[in-house]
Amino acid sequence: PYPSNLMRHKRTHTRTHTGQTSYKCDVCGIGFIDASNLMRHTRTHTEEKP
């Protein structure tokens, strides 16, 4: 069991096991389970510092 009362946290966590990716990079096509990981990855293409 996943220790969270918020259903969206459980859904996001479940995606780490199923491989389901809802957010894809427009530049290289890599998929991510949430928008924050995609945004962090996008900086690798723009060389923007966090």
Give residue 1's pLDDT band: very low, low, confident or very high (50, 70, 90).
low
Q: Looking at residue 47, what is its pLDDT?
A: 80
Domain layout of the chain by residue ranges: 7-46
CATH C-level class of 7-46: alpha beta
- pTM of the predicted protein model: 0.64
H or E stretch including 31? strand 31-32
- Give the C-alpha separation, 9 to 26, whole Å: 25
User: pLDDT tens digits, residue range 2-50?
Assistant: 677 778 778 878 887 887 888 999 999 999 988 999 999 999 998 876 6
Q: Torsions phi, psi of 18, nearest 5?
A: -90, -20
Q: Looking at residue 50, what is its pLDDT?
A: 63
